[in-house]
Amino acid sequence: MLFAILTVISSFMVIVSQNAVHSVLFLILVFCNTSGLLLLLGSEFLSLMLIIVYVGAIAVLFLFVVMMLNVKINPLVINSYSIIPIGFLIFFELFFMLSNSMKELDLINFWYNDVKLITWAVETTYINNIEIIGNVLYTQYCALFLICGIILLVAMIGVIVLTMHQRTDVKKQLIEIQLDRLPGNVVKFINLRS
């Protein structure tokens, strides 16, 4: 329940926040809370992938782009009263969707009537989602997994080669020449008065 409340509050703050950096940070908080919800629901793989892909890559990319662009606050003032009907429409649509899904899943009458306690000793014999996906990836689809890794490696090397510009008109520092110099040739005296 706490993760759901924090997700709703954080997603609201993503929209309302005036600062773009704060908005991206609230978006990261939304992803983390959603990952906690998925972990509690038993889908460990989706939870960890949400953290790795969205928080680790996409949200950090958003944060770097926003910080590099140095976006200023728009001086254009939008009348907040014109947005209220759209907000109510979205709110009621989400409310009806959630109420219908709760009726279908019978979560309203569930509460604590059918709760069964499971000991940890029994839980250790079960295979979780991450182990199942790992077994499938590393046994049946091992060749495809390795081919994807090689393609990503070639793409990474290609990007590095394309971004390295070798300019010939720039003076370069040669370390081997600096290391081969003699101590007597380091200091040079110049007579300014002749």
pLDDT digits (tens, 9 = 90+) for 131-167: 888 888 888 988 998 999 899 899 989 888 887 776 7
pTM of the model: 0.51
CB 17 within 8 A of CB 59: no
Structure tokens at 103: 């009726």
In a domain, 154, yes or no: yes
What gap in Å lies between CA 130 and CA 134, rounded to an integer? 6
Provide the number of structural domains found in the chain: 1
Q: What is the CATH number of the domain that holds 119?
A: 1.20.120
Q: Is residue 187 part of a domain?
A: no
Residue 139 CA to residue 168 CA, distance in Å, equals 50
Task: Please give the Cα distance from 95 to 29 (Å, whole number).
Answer: 23
Domain range for 90: 2-73+82-178
- Domain membership flag for residue 135: yes
Cα–Cα distance between 21 and 187 in angstroms, integer? Answer: 52
Tens of pLDDT along 62-104?
877 777 776 666 665 666 677 778 777 887 787 777 777 666 5
Q: Which amino acid is at 94?
A: L
